[in-house]
Amino acid sequence: MNVPLRHQTAAQQLTIVDCDIHPAYRAPADLHPFLPARWREHMTTFGEHLRQGLSGQLAWPRMMAAGMRLDAYPEQGPPGSDLALMRRQHLDANGVEYGMLMQLSRGGMEERNLDFAAALSRAVNDWQIAAFVEPEPRLRAGIVVPQEDAAFAVTEIERRADDPRFSQILISPRSSDPLGHRRYWPIYEAAQRANRPIALHVQGFSGGHASTASGWPTYYMQEHYAAATGMQTTLTSLVLEGVFERFPGLKVALIEGGFTWAPALCWRMDKHWERMRAETPQLKRPPSDYVREHCWFTTQPVEEPDDPQHLAEVIAWIGWDRVMFSTDYPHWDFDHPQHVFKFQPTEEQKRKVFRDNAKALYGLP
């Protein structure tokens, strides 16, 4: 499927794939048509049952406008809920050829009641298609599944596997066990069978464990950073538990968790694995090999060294074929495609990061 671009200006010679766009409901009732009556009532009567003390809000309030771009608020509803505004403000204006939807809230990933989680998962997947992908074919959905119920997750992945409008499978890196744990393996097996990458996007709600190894942070500044440390331990678990040895066709996209830490983490894993291989015989090769083969990283929020060339060096260490541009639209820390890199990438590097890597990973035409 090749979608002609609208309103393309001369300045935008390169069309892009945006690997992180957040749709939103205009109101929670938007999900009602996709929920059985029993769960509609449950949602109204009891609501979500999360692992935190505050109901219906984030425990670390965001810095401005609930963490949204001020100019992304439509006349009605929250940012991300108005497709016309999203088209005008982002898809058209920034030459987005494909936008990968990251539906985070009310998809069941953090819900404690697993039956409700399953109902939410189905509903959210139907809703993404109806509200966004059907009217706007540049957008691609993700199959949102509750990782804590692997059996249901497998049925939902299989249910959507033949629908090319779903490009990947979303589970939460804030899981109840590290994601390399074998209780999650059926999900990876299903992902491999369905030929879809697993997308791990940082989460605002916990799976029951503090965001640091020494408990809960005080400030949003710390919680924001914990997305990067949590992504590192999640990747470590996937690699050292031997998930990629077990599922050689599995691909993982790490989204909004930072990426400049990846080389140092690989060096650290390799160095200490060398001494500790007897504990992890499931690995046949150095840990960094699996990361290089199986993992992709999105750019936003891009790190900004004083010397921009340092960022170029680190991307080269990761591999120019493994980094994918993302904006995080409509969130407050949106990265703009024309200003994201303060150094001058080559034309080939630009093509890869802004478009070709994502097209290859997701099999986009």
Partner 1 sequence: MKVPYPGAIDCDLHPAMPGMAALLPHLDDYWRDQITNRHIDKSSFILTSYPPNSPLSARPDWRQASGAPGGDLDMIRRQALDPFGTRLAICNVLHGAVALFNADMAAALCAAVNDWTAAELLDREPRLRASILLPMHDPALAVAEIERKAGDRRFVQVLLLAMGEMLLGRRIYWPIYAAAEKHDLAIGIHAGSSYQHAPTPSGWPAHRLEDYIAQSTAFESQLLSFLAEGVFQKFPKLKLVLIESGFSWLPTLLWRTNKTWRGVRPEVPWIERPPAEILRERVRLTLQPVDAPRGEAQLLTRTLAHIGSDRMLLFATDYPHWQFDGEDVLPDGLSDEAVRALMIDNPLETYPRLQEAAGMSDNANATMALSGRVF
Give residues in contact with partner 1 (CB under 8 A).
Answer: 63, 173-181, 206-222, 224-226, 228-230, 232-234, 236-237, 240-241, 258, 260-261, 263-265, 267-273, 275-276, 278-280, 301, 303-306, 310-311, 313-314, 317, 332-333
Helix (H), strand (E), coil (C) string for 227-279: HHHHHHHHHHHHHHCCHHHHCCCCCEEEECCCCCCHHHHHHHHHHHHHHHHHH
Tell me which residue of 126, 12, 131, 116 sits closest to 83, measured CA to CA: 131
Shortest distance, position 51 Cβ to partner 1, whole Å:
12
Nearer to partner 1, 1 or 64 (CB): 64
Determine the Cα–Cα distance for residues 321 and 53; give it in Å rounded to an integer: 42
Nearer to partner 1, 199 or 269 (CB): 269
Shortest distance, position 232 Cβ to partner 1, whole Å:
5
Nearer to partner 1, 158 or 303 (CB): 303
Determine the Cα–Cα distance for residues 159 and 179; give it in Å rounded to an integer: 23
Nearer to partner 1, 132 or 273 (CB): 273
> What values do phi and psi take at 64, rounded to 5?
-145, 140
Contact 187, 171 (CB under 8 A): yes
Nearer to partner 1, 11 or 278 (CB): 278
The answer to whether the Cα torsion of 315, 317, 323, 329 is positive or negative is negative
- Total count of residues recorded for the chain: 365
Nearer to partner 1, 42 or 69 (CB): 69
Shortest distance, position 268 Cβ to partner 1, whole Å:
4
Shortest distance, position 328 Cβ to partner 1, whole Å:
13
CA distances from 249 to 141, 153, 159, 195, 329 (A): 21, 18, 20, 8, 30
**Peptide bond between residue 301 and the one before it cis (omega within 30 degrees of 0):** yes
Shortest distance, position 292 Cβ to partner 1, whole Å:
13
Shortest distance, position 222 Cβ to partner 1, whole Å:
5
